[in-house]
Amino acid sequence: MRITTTLKKAFTALFTAAVSFGAVSQAQADTLRIGYQKDSLALIKAKDSLEKHLSEKGVDVKWTEFPGGPQLLEGLNVGSIDFGVTGETPPVFAQAAKADLIYVAHDASSPTSEAIVVPKNSPITNVADLKGKKVAFNRGSNVHYLIVRALQEAGLKYSDIEPAYLPPSDARAAFERGSVDAWVIWDPYLAAAEQQLGARILRDATGLADNHEFYLSNGTYAKNNPEVINILVEQIRHAGEWIKANVDQATKEFAPVFGLPEGIIKTTIERHHYDTQVISPEVAIGQQKIADVFTDLKLIPVKLNIDDVVWKPAQ
């Protein structure tokens, strides 16, 4: 992955300002433990570029795969990982559980990479038809918010459906055997459902949810290791730029990583926007809206202030 010297310097300056906490109170850790899913970090893992850059700083990288964002952030909460990427909703639930987390950066909005799907021969034709139906999704994940918003748009309440809280692999199995009426899921599982099962999209997140991917760190780790986080986010940005410029090559390289056909991976890449940025006030406001929705539904027990856990430049 290549980047011009000018752009590299500009980006490094941007993130140095964004992640600087001033004096570091402890010695830099010699290991960075990253949690990933079938997501952009998996692509970076496959390129080995992060290991190269951090080894020069005396830091080893260890990777742990998780089935979804809620499980990943539980790992962050209990201290088994230092950094990871999730959708919009998992960090809200994690903050409510008093996890030591901080928002470091985010990718651009990708609303078409998550959706509500039904079997190809289902009589369900719109979201309103989900009333009284069994809907599978990963509780506390980005698609949890999507189903809430889609129901609101259709004039339904959350209580009008029967939620089936299942991680992606279990949800797909239930969807295939007809144990659930609909499935709310993200890429690459979404693309796989469309291309392998003929699943029909009932509603994607366009106009309902931004569907940002968020890069999150354990707060203590980030405070004590700002240079490591700086390098990590820089490499994420570089990887995204390379993927956008080399879709076909990226597809061929990463299909074996995911264990999925190239057509599914290409769709996943094309629907995801890899423009990694520091957290803007507008994005933080969007996260606050999500937190408030789940508080109103009494799915989280406390009122949250998202701004408390957004990484800001040192004052």
The tens-digit pLDDT sequence of the chain (315 residues) is 333 333 333 333 333 333 333 333 345 678 899 998 877 677 777 777 788 888 888 899 999 988 888 888 889 888 899 999 988 998 999 999 999 999 999 999 999 999 999 999 999 999 999 999 999 999 988 999 999 999 999 999 999 999 999 999 999 999 999 999 999 999 999 999 999 999 999 999 999 999 999 999 999 998 888 888 888 888 888 888 888 999 999 999 889 888 899 999 999 999 998 888 889 899 999 999 999 999 999 999 999 999 999 987 443
DSSP lists the bridge partners of residue 278 as 105
CA distances from 229 to 197, 261, 305 (A): 40, 33, 23
Instruction: Please check whether residue 315 lies inside any domain of the structure.
Output: no
pLDDT of residue 2: 38
Pair (63, 141) in one structural domain: no
The helix/strand/coil state of 135 is strand
Query: Of 170, 204, 238, which marks where a domain is finished?
Result: 204
pLDDT of residue 67: 83
91 CB-near residues (< 8 Å, 6+ apart): 69, 73, 101, 103, 214, 216, 287, 309
Q: How far is CA 243 from the centre of its chain?
A: 17
pLDDT of residue 207: 96
Query: Of 162, 183, 204, which marks where a domain is finished?
Result: 204
Q: What is the CATH classification number for the domain harbouring 143?
A: 3.40.190.10
pLDDT of residue 5: 39
Query: Of 164, 185, 204, which marks where a domain is finished?
Result: 204
Pair (251, 297) in one structural domain: yes
State pTM to two decimals: 0.81
Instruction: Please check whether residue 314 lies inside any domain of the structure.
Output: no
Q: 155's torsion region: left (phi>0), alpha (psi -120 to 50) or beta?
A: left
What residue numbers bound the domain in which 197 lies? 111-204
Instruction: Please check whether residue 298 lies inside any domain of the structure.
Output: yes
Q: How far apart are CA 303 and CA 300, in angstroms?
A: 8
